[in-house]
Amino acid sequence: MPEAINLLKEKLTTEHYNRLIALDNPKMHEFVADAIELCNPSSIFVCTDAPEDREYFRKLAIKNGEEIPLNIPSHTCHFDGFYDQARDKAQTKYLLPPGSELGESLNCIEKSVGVEEVRSYLKDSMVGREMLICYWCLGPTGSDFSIPCIQITDSPYVAHSESILYRPGYEQFKKIGSSPDFFRFLHSEGALANAVSQNIDKRRIYIDLEEDVVYSVNTQYGGNTIGLKKLALRLAIQKGSKEGWLAEHMFVMGVHGPAERVTYFAGAFPSACGKTSTSMLPAQTVVGDDIAYFRKKNRRIRSVNVEKGIFGIIRDVNPKNDPIIYDALTNPCEVIFSNVLIDKNKKPHWLGMGPELPTEGTNHSGKWHEGQIDANGNKITASHKNARYCLNIPDLSNRDPLLDDPDGVPVGGIIYGGRDSDTWVPVEQAFNWTEGIIIKGAALESETTSATLGKEGVRTFNLMSNLDFLSIPLGRYIQNNLDFAKDVDNPPLIFSVNYFLKDKDGKYLNGMADKKVWLLWAELCVHGDVAAVETPTGLIPKYEDLAKLFKEHLNTEYSQASYVRQFTIRIPANLAKLDRVEKIYREKVADTPHLLYETFEEVRKRLKAAQAKFGDYISPIDLITR
């Protein structure tokens, strides 16, 4: 420890040494000293909770060329490298010590090998640059949910993004004193060319679950570098498993029912499947759009938004379908755009925003014009399909008043959804908590999108929309969720939703605005205000209830023919889904709870009994209301 302090005195200015040493935490000091010695920066900036420190990051990002000022004050744009546009699943790995096992579904590397490799890439990576030492808090500060974090990076874009997305954590570190209980992140962009990471072949994101530390190098894309986001989610999932709480890839929102009643819902959707747009529905309030922690308090399940900002996919954000976000993106408030098209007037443009896009400008490929192709002959779109925006939730008109409540919000319902063209109905309530977790969550599939590297449009298994981020064996994760409702009064109801159901001609059966009706119906279910139609897989709405909601909230006449097309139970597709998913569990998940197989078989029997009675496709009109 004296060696670490001596190194800090030598490398830091008096001002920044005093900032660091004011936090009396030996483990943190040793982490900082090691990072300095390894990365060898030319200068070091220690961030406090002061607003001027955030402004320092913003100005430095512009000065270094990582962000470009746009036509609206406080708006900037960041470009990642052409081949650094999404989460790198292949090079995101867990560092496992000898004798440890997470299961074949999780990407791992032997710890000593991985540490040696990533540290070799980090060695002297900050020569000639400034190291930024930042303190943030996951969850509201001063709360049972709070997890303090330290992020070390040489990217002012990363620091600026985290200042928007997370609550300040410098004072939180003062509160924990010498406690070793915090998360650590070390990131370097590596060698740069035209202000973007150059050595993409050496891009690595390695996660040490024993030490609660993440290494990230040779990348700038937010999903690989913003440590407190999905990288911290992996650490939190393991921490929660040990301590009896849950960390989930879920939004949290307030759904506003009759008589000014607000019911809080959490929802899990894979990327680009409507998660943010659901949390931002008109006349509802948003707590968070991406990651939530759940704890049991006074025999109720409560949840917080881990973040205070949104790092969202900007594609198709337009004034008609996303008026609140669109308003924030086109008016003065702090926003970082990434990988959109910038025209000659410094105005951002993106796919699906409404107006016709310019035919030339600057984007992630550099100078761009309509018809431009990449080295493989593929068309380069004006804005990347996975282009993003980063903004503060408090800058949104629909922010929920309990956003920063240290006790979190009481959860009334949980929703699972994905891209499903032919199986699930638009909304369905599970019969109970167990079937909800297993049939709605653990059986979740979705078609892939541009948010991850690889081919689009492939149906993939995605356990509770959390598969990419799990840091514990899959079977244990399922069991943790099953057990979480124990000793809870009135557990949240669990629902599935599907916004992507198609007819035989490939046309969507749902309108984009319909999701509001599905959620308002679910809110009524939580309070027992509506009856429902029983299907082999759960409970669906009655036609008359939906017709009323469509008229009251969308001013739309909802026909019975639409109801039948949308809510027909597709027996063959549901049976095939059970078979596909069960095969995955039997072949790849050795510790699958036996209850999952029992539940699958119970639902399979119900489906086959209904098939024998009604045929392959069952109209909801023929089913029983209860």
| Active-site annotation, residues | 273
**CB atoms inside a 10 Å sphere around CB 369:** 11
Instruction: Determine the Cα–Cα distance for residues 504 and 519; give it in Å rounded to an integer.
Output: 26
Cβ-based neighbours of 177, under 8 Å, separated by 6 or more: 24, 25
At 94, list the tokens: 């867990």
Task: Show the beta-strand stretches assigned E in 48-173.
Answer: 68-69, 75-78, 92-96, 108-110, 130-138, 147-153, 167-168
CB 95 within 8 A of CB 206: yes
Q: In whole angstroms, what separates CA 353 from the centre of its chain?
A: 22
Instruction: Determine the Cα–Cα distance for residues 515 and 491; give it in Å rounded to an integer.
Output: 23
Instruction: Determine the Cα–Cα distance for residues 307 and 286; give it in Å rounded to an integer.
Output: 12
CB 189 within 8 A of CB 172: no
Instruction: Determine the Cα–Cα distance for residues 456 and 386; give it in Å rounded to an integer.
Output: 12
Instruction: Determine the Cα–Cα distance for residues 46 and 18; give it in Å rounded to an integer.
Output: 9
CB 208 within 8 A of CB 216: no
CB 118 within 8 A of CB 217: yes
Range 451-460, long-range pairs (CB < 8 A, 24+ positions): 451/86, 451/87, 451/270, 451/271, 451/272, 451/313, 451/386, 452/86, 452/87, 452/89, 452/271, 453/85, 453/86, 453/87, 453/88, 453/89, 453/90, 454/89
**For the stretch 262-299, what's the b/e string if a residue is b when 16 or more beta carbons lie within 10 angstroms of its beta carbon?**
bbbbbbbbbbbbbbbbbbbbeebbbbbbbbbbbbbeee
Single out the residue of 369, 389, 390 nearest to residue 380, CA to CA: 369
Beta strand 108-110 with 130-138: parallel, antiparallel or unpaired? unpaired
**CB atoms inside a 10 Å sphere around CB 444:** 25
**CB atoms inside a 10 Å sphere around CB 486:** 9
**CB atoms inside a 10 Å sphere around CB 13:** 12
**Residue matched to tokens 């319909």:** 514
